[in-house]
Structure formats: C-alpha cells, structure tokens
C-alpha cells in the first residue's frame, strides 16, 4: 500500500512549521558536543500533561508504577465509554503498549504531544493504551530501554496488575507499538518476549510507525531529504552515539537490525507487523529495508506509505495524513485481528 511521491517540497501550515522549527532548535541546543543533554533547557519546551480520572474527550488517564527503584511507570488510557458497561457484559478493547519517540533521549510518556496522541488512539480506535515511560539516554544507554519495555510486559501479565487492569482491557489482543525510536524499542521488546511464557498476555501484532533504524551506510533518502523537517543525518548520528554502548558503530544489531552483525530471526516467533512510512522521511529507506527483512525472515508484514508524510506527521491532527493514519492505518491493523 504505497504511492510514489512526485512532490519535492512540503506545504505545511505556518503554525506547524513554526512549532517544528522551535522544537528542533531547542533540541539541537540541548544536545551537547560531549554527548550529554541539557535537560533544563529542553524541559522549557517539553510541556507535560497531568493524568485525569475525569474523562477528557472521552478518555480517562492514570499513572501506574512498575518499578519505583528506576522510576519505571506507564500512563494508562481507558476509553470512558467502557465505564458505563455493566460488569456482566463488558466490552473488550485491544491493548496497545506504546513506546514514544524522541531518539531514546527526549520526551516522556506524559509529554503533551504524546499524551494527545495516545488519547486520540484510545478514543478513536477505541483501545486501551499503555504508554511506557522508559529510561532515557545518554544517562541510560542500551539496552536499558529494551529492559524497561519487556519488564513492563511482564508487569502487565502479573498478579500485581490484575487489580489495576480495566475490565475492558483484553490482554489476549495486545499490540506493541511505537513511533521512531519507540518503534525500534517495540521491535526489540517483541524479540525479548520469546524468553517469557506469559500467563494471559498475548502479543497479537506490532505497529511500527516510521521506525528509527540505520547503519553505517548513507542511504539515498537520507541524502536526498537532507533538508526535511525533524530528521537530519547530524541529529541521528548524535542520537545513536548517545544510545549505543561505548565503541559501537551504526551497524550495531540494535540499529541495523537486518545488517551484517544482526542475528537471524527466521526461526523466532514474531508478531504480525505493520510498518508506516512517510515520503518526506529521510529514514524511509531503512524503514523499507526493515519491512523487507521481516518478509525475508518469513514474518507477516505490511507496508503503508503516506507520500506527503514527514517524520512525526501522525502527531499533528491538522495534517490530512494524520487522520488517514488513524482511520486507514491503525484501524486496519486492529480490525485484522
């Protein structure tokens, strides 16, 4: 499901273009040359949304702690309509375990853009959404983010979560999902899940939104779309350096998942995957290679491309492709199960 993009430039609303420019400028200023982050500076623009037990646009939210010792928690989004369903006739919704983007180094589960996005998913699909607040790099390097992801799945499958789990949540239809770096985390958590025998939780699918993968090679799309919004080679190089163990290069198997150092996953159980790609995303060549790598490994995979989509387009309701993404993309994935 893709179309060739014949446009050479994006026509974005001026308010959106200004927002992206400001966020990019502050993000760049927050990234120090010694590969640390000026958190105080970035927090000036990283506005947070509090949880709300009262329905906001049809969704209630609450924050649940997984492990206080490492400040691992998630925000739970529950469609408010489910609260009026009788105990004996509860409507069951799929569960989406979501990992936010931000290059492993920026944003939190309660950051306003991701809170808004998860509320949209919960309301419009509808679904119970669990947005994981994993530890950030460079303070916490690889594989801490993957460990936080799999430990959250184990918590959801534990007795500890039973009393907190909304009656409408169907853990037998559990999707991993993530955007950008979050989609990278979702992929590796899906692989780690093979080491566990879950009691109730069943991984039905993986929703990979413009996943953040890469390699030592400079692809055609990275070079051609050097001036695209949000993503640049300089930014992604810094991000990988902040995330990876000391001495690693971009052909590390966490980055180049089907590259020269990657493991063969053809014999590994892996959920059906849908990969979303944008025509103005410099990472699109790596994303398409990811899709092809899954297919060659014998995995069920689907590719959906939005020709006018830039990196993170799905998070902006004012962009037409964002609504199409929710209506056509996500709903297609959920309905297929």
Residues labelled as active-site residues: 180, 281, 311
Q: Which of 116, 144, 148 is nearest to 129 (CA)?
A: 116
Measured CA distances, 61 to 20, 79, 166, 309 (Å): 27, 9, 11, 29
d(CA 214, CA 180): 11
d(CA 325, CA 158): 33
Q: Are 274 and 1 in contact (CB under 8 A)?
A: no
Q: Are 212 and 240 in contact (CB under 8 A)?
A: no
Q: Are 36 and 101 in contact (CB under 8 A)?
A: no
Is residue 162 exposed (0-12), middle (13-18) or buried (19+ Cβ within 10 Å)?
exposed
- Taking phi over 0 as left and psi of -120 to 50 as alpha, with beta for the rest, 247 belongs to left
Q: Which of 186, 235, 191 is nearest to 206 (CA)?
A: 186
Q: Are 187 and 228 in contact (CB under 8 A)?
A: no
Measured CA distances, 45 to 40, 42, 133 (Å): 10, 6, 18
d(CA 261, CA 256): 8
Q: Would strands 272-280 and 59-67 be described as parallel, antiparallel, or unpaired? A: unpaired
Give the torsion sign (CA, 314, 315, 318, 324).
Answer: positive
d(CA 262, CA 251): 8
Which contacts qualify for 34-42: CB closer than 8 Å, 24 or more apart?
35/138, 35/238, 35/241, 35/242, 36/138, 37/105, 37/106, 37/136, 37/138, 37/139, 37/242, 42/106
């Amino acid at each position: 499901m893709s179309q060739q993009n014949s446009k050479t430039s994006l026509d974005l609303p001026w308010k959106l273009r200004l927002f992206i420019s400001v966020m990019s400028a502050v993000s760049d200023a927050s990234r120090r040359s010694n590969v640390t982050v000026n958190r105080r500076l970035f927090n000036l623009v990283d506005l947070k949304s509090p949880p709300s037990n009262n329905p906001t646009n049809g969704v209630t939210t609450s924050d649940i702690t997984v492990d206080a010792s490492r400040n691992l928690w998630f925000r739970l989004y529950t469609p408010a309509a489910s609260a009026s369903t009788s105990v004996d006739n509860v409507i069951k919704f799929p569960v989406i375990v979501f990992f936010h983007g931000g290059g492993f180094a920026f944003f939190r589960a309660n950051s306003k853009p991701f809170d808004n996005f998860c509320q949209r998913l919960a309301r419009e699909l509808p679904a119970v959404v669990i947005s994981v607040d994993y530890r950030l790099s460079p303070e916490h390097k690889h594989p801490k983010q993957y460990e936080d992801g799999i430990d959250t799945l184990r918590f959801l499958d534990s007795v500890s979560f039973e009393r907190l789990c909304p009656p409408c949540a169907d853990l037998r239809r559990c999707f991993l999902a993530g955007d950008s770096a979050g989609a990278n985390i979702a992929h590796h958590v899906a692989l780690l899940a093979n080491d566990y025998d879950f009691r109730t939780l069943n991984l039905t699918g993986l929703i990979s939104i413009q996943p953040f993968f890469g390699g030592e090679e400079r692809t055609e799309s990275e070079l051609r779309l050097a001036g695209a919004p949000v993503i640049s080679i300089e930014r992604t190089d810094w991000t990988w350096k902040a995330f990876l163990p000391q001495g690693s290069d971009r052909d590390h198997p966490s980055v180049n998942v089907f590259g020269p150092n990657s493991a063969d996953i053809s014999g590994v159980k892996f959920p059906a995957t849908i990969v979303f790609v944008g025509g103005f995303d410099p990472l699109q060549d790596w994303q398409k290679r990811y899709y092809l790598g899954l297919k060659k490994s014998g995995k069920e995979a689907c590719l959906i491309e939005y020709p006018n989509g830039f990196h993170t387009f799905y998070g902006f309701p004012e962009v037409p492709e964002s609504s199409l993404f929710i209506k056509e993309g996500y709903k297609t994935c959920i309905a297929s199960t």
